[in-house]
Structure 1
Amino acid sequence: MGKSQKKKSMRRHNPMRVPDSHLPQGLASAAQSSTRNDAILPIIQKMEGADATDRKWACVAVSNLIQNDPSTRRLLQGKNIVGALITRLTDNEEEVVVEAIGALRNLCIDGGYEICAEMYNKNILTPLKTFVPKISSVLSQYLSNPKAAPENAQKLVYGFADNVITVLWCLSETSNKALNTINELHLTPFLMSFLASRDKLPLAPVVSAAQCLYVLTDDNIPAIKEVRADATYLSCLMSIIQPQNTLHTEFMKSDPHAVTLAVLAAGILRNVSPLPPPTAVSQKDLDKDIIFPLLQPIISSSSISQISDLAQELITTQTNEPQIENLSLKHTPKSDHRSTAEVDLEKVETRLRALQLTLEILTSTCATLPDPEFAPTDDDEEVEDEDLDKAEQDDGEMDTDVNEVNGMDADQPPVPAFITALVNPLLALIQPSALSFPPLASPSPHPPTTSALSAIHINALECLNNVFLSLAMSKRPDISEDVVSGQNIWNDVWSALAAVGTQTGPGQERRKEMWDKAVGVLWGIGNVWKGLLEPNEEQVQLLIQFCNSSSDPKVKTQCIGSLECLAQHPQSIVCNRVICEYLLSILPSGSTPASVATEPLVQAVAALIDIYSDENLPYDINFRQGQYLDRLVASVEGVRKAARSVSRQKEGGRELRMRADDVRDNLVAFIKYRRRLAL
């Protein structure tokens, strides 16, 4: 499958909760698209006023105005609202500081990397550093003597801690510079103190602490060492995961915050693995025995259609509700005042984000599983090497009910367990709902829900990509022989793509990302069932069109790889000719260079060699009648030049140069072989 399919995907997609790519660029455009221009000037003026009440009002107003409103967020950003709020973090009035960090937190969550980078560049970490020991001190006092402070004071501190931790989490994902600076704060003991005291604290700051630690331990050695060095940290994380059988077996009915916490604990353990002995978990297979049993019930019990329908109902209710409180200079708006529908919509989003997080961790888990047969089992006995083949055969057996669910007759071979346990739930999660990809002409009625849904579909595709990449590498005959399952899986991916559509333009980036990820999945499926999937002419043309339109060499390579797998269906002579004529058309010829970059060119040459390596196949008639040998001969020098143009100094350049040289040598040997056949 070449070097283009990475086994480990980037964890985070564009983290922007309320996307704004559909809006025109520039401050003037933001002013035109925002309906709240008149409110901006009073906010800026009062943010720096002498009256603490006015400054507090301005901070709260920012939170209210940016809610699901990217144009107003852009307009405020153009007026240096980030710098003004950071200044308020050193205000002499505590309530102003509390509201300022709350507004900054909302900007981080809604605005994504760009605003986080601006905050870092404007030195937000300097005041944040002073907050961490203060929060720790107050937290210790409250935990040791809960009656020492009234409930309102405790609520204020816990909310403040939640906001500070969330900003630190978002900044950690912004850049390596920000991450290195945050590493110097040594936040692990601070964050773990929330997890250790989770039974005595509100769940919100505990989940935020877990989320921050999850991000900090993602390929970040300093934080990883801090967690691994303390056995009590590992024990605490394990204790969060333990009640999985009662808490997570029915995700749709569980508390999404509690599920999120358990998933984050699993993600942190995976980030810091291998775990040092003598912890109990160090003796187990972390992925197979702990991570997968926790995550699999979450994806299998999640229903995108149910969640989407509920969101639609709440959006309608919210739209019909009267506006209880408008922004007013006379009355200080309350940042926590939300309607019932708004609160319920936030719960829906929390559930979706928990599912998204589950898929992110599962993607990494699937990337490293040596044995794809990891369906849940109650049998923990070790299998001896000599019994491995028999065990795999036994594990793959499914009962009649499961086969019927998958549309199979009793006479057909059983569906491998991993398909029913993992692949089928993932295929259900890639199917879009009406809220997932709204057309540009009709923006989403609730952008956070749309953002979460589209992220889930993309994460599920990334997970499927890793599953089928692992399967293609493992060469499992019991799976590749199950052609019915392969064809069903292939059709399900195309069904999702049909629902996504091909609309392009600003605001439609997630549609394109779905296609980008799906092509990788199709290549993986094609490799597992190479030559066994009957090609569909319309799908072939769509792959060719997408390959031509994409500017990403890796995506082009995946398209070509998918076409190669379809071309090897022995009886599909017409589709074979269409595909191979296309592959030949992108090759260099004489003085004409290739029409694609080196990576997809190399894949195209390798594909043609692989397709026509057996002259006895029915479709080989296309090779002879189309005089493909002459066209390959004409491409040799161009392929050689393309290989030599690869810079070994660039990332991945050394591997690509080696592969290009190998393919060029194989091309020369293939030409010699076909000439000797004299067909």
Structure 2
Amino acid sequence: MGKSQKQRAIRRHNPMRVPDTHLPKGLASASSSSSKNEAVLPIIQKMESPEVGERKWACVAVSNIIQNDPSTRRLLQGKNVVGALIARLTDSEEEVVVEAMGSLRNLCIDGGYDICAEMYNKNILTPLKAFVPKISTTLEQYLANPKAAPENAAKLVYEFADNVITTLWCLSETSNKALNAINALQLVPFLMSFLACRDRLPLAPVTAAAQCLYVLSDDNEPAIDEVRSNGEFITSLLAIARTVSDARTSHGKVDIRRLQLGVLASGVLKNISPLPLAVASDIDIDKELVTMLLPVLQNTSLRDATARVPVLLSEQANEVAVDKPSLKNTPKSDHRSPVEIELESIENQLRTTQLALEILTAACATLPDPDVSKHDEEADEQEDEGMEEEEIDEGVNDEMSVEGVPSKDEVKSSVDLLPSLVPVLIQLAEPTALSFPPLANPSIHPPTTSALGAVHIAALECLNNIFLSLARNPSSTVQADTVAAKGIWDGLWKSLGLVGTEFGLGQERRKQFWELAIGVLWGVSMVWKGFLAPDAQEVELLKLFCNSSEDERVRVKCIGTLECLAQCPTAVDGNKIIAEYLFTLLPTDTTPPAGVEPAIQAGSALIDIYSDETFPYDVNFRANGYLERLVAHVDAMKKLVKGIDRRKPGGRELRLRGEEVRDNLVAFLKYRKALKL
């Protein structure tokens, strides 16, 4: 059972607003599903027009027609709109450059990784690199003498800076290659200059700078070292992070921009922790982060947001069209109606909550991963070349059998979080009517649906880390609180019932919810093992999900949860149902039906369940001939373990785990035979 954490190669903070992975690939499918085919060719043609006005119009038109329209965006992408816009970044007219940059920024946000990768491959970093010092110089001039800066010119520069920084943020999440190229730009001082001058600049570019810094400092040593090397940077970040509780307007409403800025600063501090002693020797950053961010979660109402969106959309439908987008007229103005502003505000609130959850997830990940040393890898290679299993260096086994363990203070901190944090997380994990719309009836507002789903996922990841820590380090205080256990367990199953099981294309997040929730269920069942009794319907759902999942790790989570439920002393019938299912997963002469790791987990589960013959449910072991049935699987288990290739990714750890279970199985059977029950 692994802890949840941000992993750059797999999942970084995703700026994509509306996922569109369910859409068919290819230009033909995009063309057939887009309602704006006729508009695309004129845009591409006018991008190269000798007339400045037409080039500017074409750049703005891209933003107009792609908004929440993935089909048209993909159609434009197939016509090389990215290359055309990048070419306009070196246009002789400043206004064209500004509009092209704005459209590229919008493509990044709405299009996600694919378009960002295309931009990187088409060398967008060359013009962006040239923009950075120009923006810095202009800002210095404006800040030194604000009255000398024309209002419109200053506004233009701030918006341009926002677009450039946001694009750099999105690009840095594209790939390690893109991230390394952006590291070479050494952006930290540039980004921190916006945060240092936050009181004299509009919030939009300051927040964009904080977001970019948050992403760059996420498991990225060059950026982390840059921030940690400057005490003024850390002091500034601490000052911003501590304003989270003060992010309210004079009317008492939450100022989402200021709140987001404070949360982002908190995230950067977590990314670069531990903080240098010379700057923050007396600060427990994890404890302070929880104190600062918990109110953000407590003040988030997903149900209020869900209820408000349909009302706003209804109002929007009844509004008289003002400044309606038209490709035949001048570009759409930046004016947004009150409804559009409130819808964006709701989305920003949800994204800020998601961000706070991500930071807390990292703070709750107290268990370090075991390191595999070079010496151990070399020992494995030698063994694979001819060493017998019995000759494995015992020191290596001893080292790898002990995983990293948090300190007592860290465990106590996790326990202290339960009363205040866990109920809020359970509430944020519970889906609303807009969270997971069926594919046949798409969301009435995709940005809100996307943000809600992201909040649910982040809440589950945080819960996963809390209960993993508690399961690995039992607390008598927590285990005694069976009322909390029942509430948490029922709350998770309630959420799963609301999510449903409609998987498939376009429903990837629904499946992800299940996979994460099963992990949390496993953690909860380990913490309260023996108290939580197996419910027949829940057991059947776990079995069904285990059988249908293509991911062996998810199957292991299902098996682990069933194993814990089977150890409820009073659940004799439920114990038998689970045990019979586990037997179907054990290896035979053929390939294990659920895979190698699930087969090993099933063997381990049966050993743990029946390791104490005094429990009431042990009657099942004796009455159903489980001893003889397990004996029949021993040779297959040995063969299965011996066939695990250490050289494959994760193979070494799996082989060690398999050898442990194999040896335990042999010892367990010897013990049970000696009992002569």
CA contact 1:249–1:301 (8 Å) conserved in 2: no
Q: 1:461 maps to which residue? A: 460
**C-alpha displacement at 1:142, in angstroms?**
0.6
Partner residue, 1:5: 2
Q: Which residue of 2 aligns with 1:483?
A: 482
Determine the structure 1 residue equivalent to 2:319: 321
Residue 147 of structure 1 corresponds to: 147
SS at match of 2:365: helix
- Residue 249 of structure 1 and its aligned partner are, at CA, apart by 13
Q: Which residue of 2 aligns with 1:401?
A: none
Q: In the alignment, what sits opposite 2:522? A: 523
Q: Contact 2:641–2:655 (CA<8 Å) still a contact in 1?
A: yes
Q: Is the 8 A contact 1:60 1:100 kept in 2?
A: yes
Q: 1:644 offset after TM fit, Å? A: 2.1
The aligned residue for residue 293 of structure 1 is: 291
1:331 shift after superposition: 2.4
Give the drift of 1:250. Answer: 13
What pairs with 1:108-119 in structure 2 (closer than 5 Å)? 108-119=108-119
Secondary structure, counterpart of 1:322 in structure 2: coil
Cα shift at 1:418? 2.8
Match of 2:158 in 1: 158
Q: What secondary structure is seen at the aligned counterpart in 2 of 1:182? A: helix
**Aligned pairs (5 A) from 1:181-200:** 181-200=181-200
Q: CA deviation at 1:335?
A: 4.8
CA 1:180 to 1:541, structure 2 compared with 1: closer, same or farther past 3 Å? same
Match of 1:547 in 2: 546
Structure 2: gaps of 5 or more residues: 369-407
Q: Quick check: 1:108–1:115 contact (8 Å CA) kept in 2?
A: yes
1:471 Cα deviation (Å)?
0.8
Distance of 1:170 and 1:306 partners within structure 2: 30
Mapped partners of 2:305, 2:225: distance in 1: 39
1:9 and 1:462 in contact (8 A); partners too: no
Q: Which runs of 4+ in 1 moved over 6 A?
A: 248-252
Q: Which amino acid aligns with 2:68?
A: N
SS of the residue corresponding to residue 619 of structure 1 reads: helix
Paired with 2:358 and 2:251, the residues of 1 have a C-alpha distance of: 17
Q: Name the count of aligned residue pairs.
A: 634
CA distance in structure 1 between the aligned counterparts of 2:521 and 2:251, rounded to whole angstroms: 29
Change in 2 beyond 3 A, CA 1:319/1:84:
same
Indicate the residue corresponding to 1:660 in structure 2: 658
More moved, 160-169 vs 301-310: 301-310
Is contact 2:52–2:93 with CA below 8 Å preserved after alignment? yes
CA contact (8 A) 2:569 2:617 kept: yes
**Shift in CA distance, 251/209, structure 1 to aligned 2, threshold 3 Å:** farther
Contact 2:244 2:263 in 1 (8 A): no
The 2-side partners of 1:247 and 1:42 are apart by 45
Question: What is the aligned-residue identity percentage?
Answer: 60
Moved more, 150-159 or 335-344: 335-344
8 A Cα contact 2:242 2:292, kept in partner:
no
DSSP 3-state at the match of 2:278: coil
Measured after TM superposition, the shift of residue 9 of structure 1 is 4.5
1:346-495 mapped onto 2 (5 Å cutoff)? 346-368=344-366, 418-495=417-494
The amino acid of 1:659's aligned partner reads R
Q: Is the contact made by 2:249 and 2:255 (CA closer than 8 Å) also made in structure 1?
A: no
Alpha-carbon shift at residue 323 of structure 1 (Å): 3.1
Q: CA–CA distance in 1 between the matches of 2:273 and 2:69?
A: 41
**1 CA distance for matches of 2:518 and 2:333?**
44
* Letter paired with 2:322: I
**CA offset at residue 322 of structure 1?**
3.5
CA contact (8 A) 2:247 2:256 kept: no
Aligned CA distance change for structure 1 residues 596 and 528 (closer, same or farther; 3 Å)? same
For the residues of structure 2 that align with 1:253 and 1:468, how far apart are their CA atoms? 34
Using the alignment, how far apart are the partners of 1:169 and 1:438 within structure 2? Answer: 30
Question: For residue 467 of structure 2, what is the amino acid of its counterpart?
Answer: F
CA distance in 2, matches of 1:369, 1:253: 38
Structure 1 residue 604 displacement after superposition: 0.9
2:82 maps to 1:82? yes
Provide, for residues 537-585 of structure 1, a one-character-per-residue CA deviation record: whole Å limited to 9, x for no partner.
0000000000011001110110100111111111111111111111100
Q: Give a deviation string over 1:368-394, Cα, whole Å, max 9, x none.
A: 289xxxxxxxxxxxxxxxxx99x97xx
2:55 aligns with 55
Any residues of structure 2 matched to 1:526-537 within 5 Å, and which?
526-537=525-536
Q: CA deviation at 1:434?
A: 1.1
- Report the Cα distance in structure 2 between the residues aligned to 1:132 and 1:249, rounded to whole angstroms: 32
SS at match of 1:283: coil
Contact 2:364 2:465 in 1 (8 A): yes
Change (3 A) 1:472 1:145: same
- Is the 1:214–1:267 Cα contact (8 Å) retained in structure 2? yes
Q: Helix, strand or coil: the match of 1:17?
A: coil
Give 2:572's aligned residue.
573
Whether 1:179 and 2:179 are equivalent positions in the alignment is: yes
Q: So what's the TM-score if we normalise by structure 2?
A: 0.91
SS in 1 for 2:616: coil
In the alignment, the residues of structure 2 paired with residue 53 and residue 68 of structure 1 have an alpha-carbon distance, to the nearest angstrom, of 26
The AA in structure 1 aligned to 2:675 is L
Q: Retained in 2: the 8 A contact 1:587–1:635? A: yes
Q: Is the 8 A contact 2:428 2:459 kept in 1?
A: yes
Of the three residues 294, 307, 310, the one matched with 1:309 is: 307
Within 5 Å, give how 1:261-276 maps onto structure 2: 261-276=261-276
- Looking at structure 1, the residues matched to 572 and 52 of structure 2 have their Cα atoms a distance apart, in angstroms, of 78
Q: Check whether the contact 2:323–2:332 (CA below 8 A) recurs between aligned residues.
A: no
2:567 & 2:33 partners in 1: Cα distance? Answer: 52
Checking the alignment, whether the CA contact within 8 Å between 1:250 and 1:301 is kept in structure 2 is no
Matching residue's letter, 2:291: P
Partner of 1:383: none
* Matched residue type, 1:198: R
Q: Is the Cα contact below 8 Å between 2:142 and 2:148 reproduced in 1?
A: yes
| Structure 1 pair 155–54 and aligned structure 2 pair: CA distance change class (3 A) | same
Q: 1:599 & 1:369 partners in 2: Cα distance?
A: 22
Cα distance, 1:318–1:40 mapped onto 2, change above 3 Å: same
- Contact kept, 8 Å, 1:18 with 1:69, in 2: the verdict is no
TM score, norm. by length of structure 1: 0.90
CA drift at 1:476 = 0.0
Residues 192-251 of structure 1, C-alpha deviation per residue, up to 9 Å, x if partnerless? 000000000000100110010111111111111111111110111111123344337999
Match in the other structure for 2:170:
170
Map Cα deviations across residues 518-543 of structure 1 (whole Å, 9 max, x no partner).
Answer: 00000000000011102110000000
Deviates more, 1:233-242 or 1:23-32: 23-32
* Of 618, 639, 653, the match for 1:641: 639
CA contact (8 A) 1:7 1:469 kept: no
Does 1:224 pair with 2:221? no
Correspondence for 1:618: 616
State the alpha-carbon separation in 2 of the partners of residues 251 and 116 from structure 1.
40
1:249 and 1:666 map into 2 onto residues whose CA distance is 62
Aligned in 2, Cα 1:668/1:248: closer, same or farther, shift over 3 Å?
Answer: farther
SS at match of 2:277: coil
